[in-house]
Structure formats: structure tokens, C-alpha cells
Chains A and B, each alone.
Chain A
Amino acid sequence: MKKDKRLYWKLFTSTFYLSAFTFGGGFVIVPLMKKKFVDNLKWIEDEEMLNLTAIAQSSPGAVAVNASILLGYKIAGILGSLCCILGTILPPFLILSVISIFYSAFKDNSTIQILLKGFQSGVAAVIADVVIQMGGDIIKHKSIMSILIMAFSFIATYFLNINVIYVLLASAVVGGLTFLYNIRCSTKKGNESEAQI
């Protein structure tokens, strides 16, 4: 029992530490988690970590939170999962609570306003860069369907003010149906070639 308590504490402190010092979100923190829990502590296998990452990235929500839930559960069950979630969300929670209080107090200061205004140009540039990178990847694959979905979702939300959630639901359905259609085509082809033999 005493050993268990230490394990939970160790899970909490490890995830807390990782979360507090990782800037840049899920795609940065997951490799660091692997380093900590697979390479250093050897609490789970490499293969398990790969499966866990695949699930964390396929599931909605923040990748870092998803990965910590799975990791905690694999190592120490539901309680372990809770320790990891707390460890992951407490650092940003504490930091943003403090910033939120100061933001209201500072944002009317004229120097801060100029600084924030300058940041905004930077944010716009960073997002534009992300869009061009991700959009470029999609165009490169030359799937007409993907390009149409991308264009449609921009037009639907920016010009037609359609709710983002409906656009996502519609594209999930299109993606799922395309997948099922492709499977049907490939099994049909498989059957035909079997029949020929």
C-alpha cells in the first residue's frame, strides 16, 4: 500500500514536471513522455507507448491530456490515470489563472496595448504559416475530395457563418463513407481475383 502511494505520487510529479516545462503542446510532450516512462523509468514497453500515442492522436481533445490518461491507466489503473491528468493540467491551470487576473489589470495600459497589438501580427503570421504548411501537405496528396473539403470548410465558416461543429460533423461523415466505399471496392476486387483463380 505504501509502495502504491509512492507510485501515484511519482506519476503525479513526473507528469507535472513534464507539463510545466514543455512549451508547444502535444506533439512535443508525447516524445518527452516516452523518454521519461519508457527509457528512464521503464514502466511501459516501447510498443505499448506507440499504440498509446496512436490512440491519443486519433481521439478528440488535447493530445497531451489524452496521452497522460492512457499512460496513467496502463501503469496504475484508474487512480493512476487521475494522478496523470492532474499532473498534466495543474501547471497550465495555475499559470493561466494568475495571468488571467493580471491581464484584466494590465490590458488597458497603453504600452502593454502596443505590445499586444504587435503580438497579434505575429500570431496571424504563425497561423498563416501553419495553414500553408498543412494545406500544402493536403494539396500534395492530390485527393480531389480532401481539397474540396478544405475549400468548403473555409467558405462555409468564413463567408456563410456556418457553425464549425456542423462542418466537422459533415466532414467526419464524408471521411467515414469514403473509407467504407474504398473497403468495399478493394474486397470486391479481391473477390474477383479469387474467382479468376
Chain B
Amino acid sequence: MGFENNDKAKGYWRENLRLVLSLLAIWAAVSFGCGILLVDVLNEVHFMGFKLGFWFAQQGSMYVFVALIFVYAAKANALDKKYNVQED
């Protein structure tokens, strides 16, 4: 067992799930949300020469995906340190 006690193990997993779920919420919002479900509404807005919904579908969502993974990696590593379960 890598954790000092059971509560710590539960706490770590709870925080990890919260982190993953909140990032996945952004993931779904930019792709399924802005790029698909809301595309017609957002297309009324113009952004750098693009219709905004179209931009999310063919550009924006991909930039956000990249950022999400780097944010996740940094936060997950910090979480490991907080609970002292990082690799040696």
C-alpha cells in the first residue's frame, strides 16, 4: 500500500476524479458543445475572419485539447506529491 492510511487513499482518488471530471467537462464543452450542438448560434459571431462555431470545430477545440493534457499532467503530478505517492 502506497498511502499512509485508508482515508488518504480515498482522498487522493476523490481529488483525482474531481480533476479528471472537470477537465473532461471542458473537453466536452469545446468539442461537442461549441463545435457541434451550439455551432449555429456561435456562427453568428465572427472571430478573426471565422464564424466562431466553425472555428471551434476545425481549430479551437484542438488547441484546447492540447492545453488540457498539459494542465492535467501538471496538476496530477502535484497531487501525487501532496499525498506522497509520486515515483522515486
Same assembly = no
Which A residues have a C-beta under 8 Å from some C-beta of B?
A: none
